[in-house]
Chains A and B, each alone.
Chain A
Amino acid sequence: MAVSTSATTLVVAGVPDQGHMRSVLGYLQRNPQLVAGLLMIGALVLFWSLGSVLVDVKTARPLSAQPELEPSFKYPLGTDTAGRNILAAMIVGTPITLRIGLIAATIGMAIGIVLGFSAGYFGGTADTVIRGITDTILPIPALAVLVVIASLLTKALTPDSMGLIVASLAWMSPTRTIRAQVLTMRERTYIEVARLCGLSGPEIVVRELVPNLLPYLGASFVSAVGGSILAAIGLEALGLGPQNEPTMGMTIFWANYNGAIIRGMWWWWGPPIFVIVFLFVGLFLISAGLDEVANPRLRTRA
């Protein structure tokens, strides 16, 4: 459960002493959204970690089983036209799909944090330039641009290059929202105090602003992961994904390509849909839960 520990440290923001741990647990009790979301992502992690031990993942490759079998005891989720064991494909593909999202979101957030903090805190020319560029690129439909990039690459796409492609248009909305948050934070009294204490600009950003924005940054990171996975799945559904990896989007592409939907082969397209919905709802709940940590006023709302 690597995900849950990292999220709890995020809530505590350091100092993991006994009293803090108890208050975190108490807080989690009052934030069922966050708990439910973490449990859902935890269940996915469990699915692939247990699955890769219990199921022979080599059968996720094409031609490893008799094609187009209905679910049976040997192949609980059946096989596809190319002879992949769907269950094994799901076990192999789930972490890859998540990995694409994590790579894109990490890069997008990193750029967003640097640009957002410099625009919001330092203002002036930096702000004008950064905001101008962000606002100009933001209305461009990402999928359209990504399609052109992905289709013109000569080398076969790998999950990592897929993540990089998605990242190239995943930084605008973090930049924009972080800038807005920093703008409101900048006027708070404790920033004023820090400035009077003689802290330099970068010091204030790193020691005062970033820690206070951590839950907020966490929430936007989680929704960036969701957005990146959505973009990647969209590209994959068009056939622009890692051809040799059974990611969720590629599985759906192959299923649609081979007419599995109108032939009633539900065991082919059903499992990736289930994993994707599970993943998205889980990420949505975590993001909403972290939003509540970041913005306590939301707690009073029903």
Chain B
Amino acid sequence: MSLGYLLRRVVVFVLVMWAAMTLIFFLPKLAPGRDPIQDRMAMLAATGGANTANIADMVKAYQTNFGLDQPLYIQYFRYLGNIVRLDFNYSLAQYPAKVIDLITISLPWTVGLLTMTTLISFGLGSLLGGLLAWPKAPRWLGYLIPPLVTLSAIPYFLLGIIFVYVFAFVLKLFPLGGGSAFGVMPTISIEYYADILYHSLLPALSIVAAALGFWALSMRGMMVTTMGEDYMILAEAKGLPARRIFFWYGMRNALLPQTTSLAISLGHLVSGALLVEIIFRYPGMGTLLYRAVTGFDYFAIYGVVYFIIVGICLATLLLDIVYPLLDPRIRYQRA
């Protein structure tokens, strides 16, 4: 892999991050309104929901931190500076806690769940999609297409609701929600990890089931195109075993564009998975975001959103770096 390619990708990463942060900063300012923080704080104080004594302090902390009395461009640069230093201030809803600490607790849950489900649904879906376009595949596979189309059209979290009801509420096979059994202290033991796995199975299943259709259908499209290529005919004419043609000539080539669409739809995947967390009260970033939104915890909203964007951009960067290893054409291009 050439250094130039790597450098270009890193520049794109920084550019996208900067654009995202700028959008988040300026778009809400376009909307007419007063200081939302002040409003929400007053509302919280009125309902007595928060620690009222600290509200004045927090408003002040917000205003000096974001420099709201300063001109817009100074606010903007301060905001960028804070973000680079990962300083998201205190959580408004859980006051003495800092936003970054809340995120550190939630992040591993989400990263674990997402990595597992993305790998499984991508791998399984691609294999299934490849087989759907393969003429020698068993006939019954064709009957899977209508349910796959339906599944791919459903938002993940709706499937999550149905799964909770059927598997946890009616059949009582799985816990109703949460990340681990209630009141159990985290320890380094097999039981504890087994419990975590047990709690994550149902959310994982709803993400995988819903994402499977998408990957299978797009892979089927790619595979149909690949099947028409001359080298497939040549491979068959050479008398290569069907298994070898399927995996090394068909799947391997069809997987390339599939990897690209993985990079493109990563944002959708992550957003979908975050909403699944809300349904299962899974203690990850999605639930943290949900709590922040329902509790008007602006610092936490900014923090979580920042980490979501960084995560997706980093994953895209990683895919971009891995891609030339898969596709020699990119590797030797404009070196």
Interface residues of A (CB under 8 A from B): 136-145, 147-149, 151-155, 168, 226, 230, 233-234, 237-240, 252, 256-257, 261-262, 264, 266, 269, 273, 276-277, 280-281, 283-284, 301
Q: Say whether B33 faces chain A, with CB atoms less than 8 Å apart.
A: yes
Given A141-B309, A237-B275, A239-B293, A149-B169 contact (CB < 8 Å): no
**B170-209: contact bitstring with A at CB < 8 Å (1 yes, 0 no)?**
1000001100000000000000000000000000000000
Interface size in chain B (residues, C-beta < 8 A): 58
Task: Give Cα A281 to B158, complex, Å.
Answer: 14
Q: Given the known inter-chain contacts A140-B20, A142-B267, A154-B36, please indicate yes or no for A149 contacting B165, CB distance below 8 A.
A: no
Interchain CA distance A152-B313 in the complex, whole Å: 24
B121-162 interface (Cβ within 8 A of A): 149-150, 152-155, 157-158, 161-162
Contact check, A262 vs B293: say whether CB atoms are below 8 A apart. Answer: no
One of B68-76, B78-86, B300-308 contacting the partner: B300-308
Q: Report the minimum CB–CB distance from A111 to chain B (whole Å).
A: 15
Main secondary structure on chain A at its contact with chain B? helix
Tell me, in angstroms, the Cα distance from A237 to B271 when the chains sit together: 12
B37 to A, closest residue via Cβ:
A152
Q: How far, in whole Å, are A82 and B164 apart by their CA atoms in the complex?
A: 23
Contact A261 B169 (CB under 8 A): yes
Decide if B293 touches A153 in the complex (CB within 8 Å).
no
Ranked nearest first, the 10 interchain pairs of A and B with the lowest CB-CB distance are A154-B33, A141-B267, A143-B271, A152-B28, A280-B153, A140-B20, A144-B305, A284-B153, A144-B308, A136-B19
User: Smallest distance from the beta carbon of A107 to chain B beta carbons, Å?
Assistant: 15
Contacting residues, chain A, for B168 (C-beta < 8 A): 262
Residues of B within 8 A of A233 (CB): 155
Q: Kindly name the residue among A140, A262, A266, A280 whose own CB sees the greatest number of chain B CB atoms within 10 A.
A: A140
Contact, CB under 8 Å: B305 / A145? yes
Whether A137 lies near B169 (C-beta < 8 A) is no
Min C-beta distance of B61 to chain A, whole Å: 17
Interface residues of B (CB under 8 A from A): 12, 15-16, 19-20, 23-24, 27-28, 31, 33-34, 36, 39, 149-150, 152-155, 157-158, 161-162, 164-165, 168-170, 176-177, 224, 263-264, 266-268, 270-272, 274-275, 278-279, 289-290, 293-294, 296, 298, 301-302, 305, 308-309, 312-313, 316
| Assembly CA distance A168 to B28 (angstroms) | 11
Q: Jot down 27 A-B pairs with beta carbons below 8 A, ordered by A.
A: A136-B12, A137-B19, A137-B23, A139-B267, A141-B271, A141-B309, A142-B271, A144-B20, A144-B271, A148-B301, A148-B305, A151-B301, A153-B28, A234-B155, A237-B275, A238-B275, A238-B293, A239-B294, A252-B158, A257-B294, A261-B279, A266-B165, A276-B154, A277-B154, A281-B153, A283-B153, A284-B153
Q: Which residue of B lies closest to A230 (CB)?
A: B155
Partner of A152, one of B15, B36, B155, B272: B36
Residue pair A140, B271 in contact (C-beta under 8 Å): no
Given contacts A137-B19, A238-B293, contact A151 B161 (CB under 8 A): no
- Give B24's nearest chain A residue, CB to CB: A148
